[in-house]
Structure 1
Amino acid sequence: MLTAATGPTAPQGAGVPWPDYVLPVASPQPITGQGWWWLGVHGGAGVTTLGQAVPGGLDAGRAWPTAGEPQPVVFVARSSASGLKAVQNAARQWASQLVTGVELLGLVVVADAPGRRPRALRDLLSLVSGTVPRLWEIPWVEEWRLGEPPSAHLPKECAPLARDLTRLTRPA
């Protein structure tokens, strides 16, 4: 079963506040067939690790991947305040149509620390998750921090993420 969309699935355009910071736009080779772009909305978001843990995506290099046809994109951010605020900016950029040629699939939030998030960050994540179609959360994995291969220590949350992205990017 596919994770249901809980936020907007298309840019809203008029009325969306402009972001404080905009990510650059790149023109990479378009993805043909099945696959997606991981878009790290800030440095250290976890794109490289996620790419090893959930194969099928390509690193967009912290720039919007645009091409002739809409490119499937997944935001990646840490669960810190600065990471979630970077998501807000990227989501505003998408929603206000400052960038085109993107099919935003959702957001992957990678835990920035072990344990339960402070209430302020839980509240911010709740707010931010309403600006994207879907939210997937990856918990803290101590082995990843220690440099062990992500594929050797996959948290259970990676399975539904991989399943959803495969289904969302399956050619029609």
Structure 2
Amino acid sequence: MATPEPVPGPYESVAASAATSRRFSWLATHGGAGTSTLASVYGGHDCGRDWPGPDAPSSVLLVARTHATGLESALRTLEVFRRGEAPPGLDLEAVVLVADAPGRLPRPLAHRIHLIESAIDVYRVPWVPSWRLGDLSGTPPRETDPLSRLTGAPTRRTR
């Protein structure tokens, strides 16, 4: 019996398919970083402040708020990975910085973010008023399309 010829159709590209199937562990660098919200919106495993367990995805996205304490804690956690002190088998993919307030960051905080960006990829999540009220429905903010592509979450263009 002959194998049928492939039929052109509306198939996802291999890259899109791979991105959709990839799962991450969201690891908070401090309390209140936003891992539960991010896991709800973008998918993946919410580790809270604990290292991913054996059944959790080994690809890690570090999460911190953009206030001084959050950025310092992100830098400290990056240092743990740099020194090889994180649990074996974990792959640090990027840092996700969640806005702690609406508006522009003060210069000292922007400088700390540049330090983090010099060491690893950084994805920024803006202030989302509806998330503060617990409404996680809808697509993620347009500004987070790169993060949506990384995690395979829907974007405004793919819905």
Ranked by relative contact order (alpha carbons within 8 Å, sequence separation 6 or more), the top structure is: 1
User: Match for residue 79 of structure 2?
Assistant: 92
1:129 Cα shift?
2.2
- 1:73 maps to 60
1:1-172 correspondence runs (5 A): 34-55=22-43, 57-65=44-52, 67=54, 71-99=58-86, 100-132=88-120, 134-147=121-134, 149-152=135-138, 154-166=140-152
Equivalent-residue separation in structure 2 for 1:90 and 1:97 (angstroms): 11
User: Normalization by structure 1: what TM-score?
Assistant: 0.70
Deviation of 1:34 (Å): 3.0
Residue 136 of structure 1: SS of its match in structure 2? strand
Alignment-mate amino acid for residue 71 of structure 1: S
Unaligned runs of 5+ in 1: 3-32, 167-172
Note if contact 1:39-1:73 (Cα within 8 Å) is conserved in structure 2: yes
DSSP 3-state at the match of 2:104: coil
For 1:158 and 1:118, the matched residues in 2 are separated by 21
Which whole-Å CA distance do the structure 2 matches of 1:94 and 1:51 have between them?
22
Report percent identity of matched pairs.
38
Greater share of helix residues, 1 or 2?
2
Deviation of 1:63 after TM superposition, in Å, equals 1.8
Alpha-carbon shift at residue 153 of structure 1 (Å) = 6.1
Residue 130 of structure 1: CA displacement?
Answer: 2.0
Deviations 1:75-122 (A, max 9, x none): 011000000000011100011001221111101100000000000100
Are 1:48 and 1:59, in contact at CA under 8 Å, matched by a contact in 2?
yes
Q: TM-score, normalised by structure 2?
A: 0.75
> 1:76–1:107: 8 Å Cα contact kept in structure 2?
yes
Structure 1 residues 8-44: Cα deviation after superposition (integer angstroms, max 9, x where no partner): xxxxxxxxxxxxxxxxxxxxxxxxx731100011000
CA distance in 2 between counterparts of 1:96 and 1:79 reads 24
> In 2, Cα distance between the equivalents of 1:142 and 1:66?
32
Alignment partners' CA distance in 2, 1:151 and 1:136: 21
Instruction: Point out 4+ residue stretches in structure 1 off by more than 6 angstroms.
Output: none
Query: Could you say what the CA RMSD is over the residues aligned between the two structures, in angstroms?
Result: 2.4
Q: 2:63 is aligned with what amino acid?
A: V
Structure 2 residue runs of 5 or longer lacking an equivalent are: 1-14, 16-20, 153-159
